[in-house]
Structure 1
């Protein structure tokens, strides 16, 4: 059976899990918490590369800021759509106000900006808030 590496959303340890169409249960080998948690993870300069490089599932990064109106409107959509992709895609957020080095590194010029990574490589970039259907389509293109 083939396996895929996923990063635990709780302790950030790498887990090799069997590839399945759906999962009823999957726990981290280290912290024992559920790998099915779809709550977007807040990334920073310390853990960003670890997550992007070690996730073999697509990583959807939302670059946002707390003062940004469209970012505030988009946040619940991002969280809602994430719930549809447990162990299929990892949804993460980067606060550009706090993580200015990451913003510069990835040339974030407007927010929200979404970047889709697969196997550590940027595959797609979209600026502006998306509705649930467009965000789902973006994720589905990357699976």
Structure 2
């Protein structure tokens, strides 16, 4: 059976989405949430790790914290960039204040830090604030 494996960011269920349905707003078979929403979604550490490990679509994570001024500055740029990747890449946000183990486990030394994961491995990383155009360019070069 063909298709791409995608983890639902809401319930954590792994879904297999046919290739021709990726651009048609596929929904989770368990909870009905959109899987390719074109939005940067806040996720918990367990869901992020499951998606990074199992998904067939590249995953970009923004490690951030609510008290971080630069993180708040980049947030709308990152959210806007997610729309450009609606069919090919999924973007998530991971709050390092809520999940301090994530910062240690992934060697995050400063926030905001974005990282690209494909096939269970980190492929690229960027720390600091970028405007939307630079985020889009960096993601395209990294996936």
Per the alignment, residue 7 of structure 1 pairs with 7
Corresponding position: 1:44 with 2:44: yes
CA spacing shift, 1:43–1:24, aligned 2, 3 Å? closer
TM-score normalised per structure 1: 0.88
C-alpha offsets along residues 107-143 of structure 1, whole Å, 9 cap, x if unaligned?
1111111110011100001110111111111222244
The more displaced of 88-97 and 15-24 is 15-24
Per the alignment, residue 69 of structure 1 pairs with 69
CA spacing shift, 1:94–1:34, aligned 2, 3 Å? closer
TM-score normalised per structure 2: 0.88
**Structure 1: 4+ residue segments shifted above 6 A:** none
Corresponding position: 1:96 with 2:96: yes
Q: How many residues align?
A: 143
Q: Which runs of 5+ in 1 are unaligned?
A: none
C-alpha offsets along residues 72-128 of structure 1, whole Å, 9 cap, x if unaligned?
110011111111222411111111112111101111111111110011100001110
Per the alignment, residue 134 of structure 2 pairs with 134
Residue 2 of structure 1, CA deviation: 4.1
CA spacing shift, 1:114–1:25, aligned 2, 3 Å? closer
Distance 1:61 1:25 in 2: 21
Q: Which has the higher helix share?
A: 2
CA spacing shift, 1:47–1:32, aligned 2, 3 Å? closer
Q: 3-state SS of the aligned residue for 2:46?
A: coil
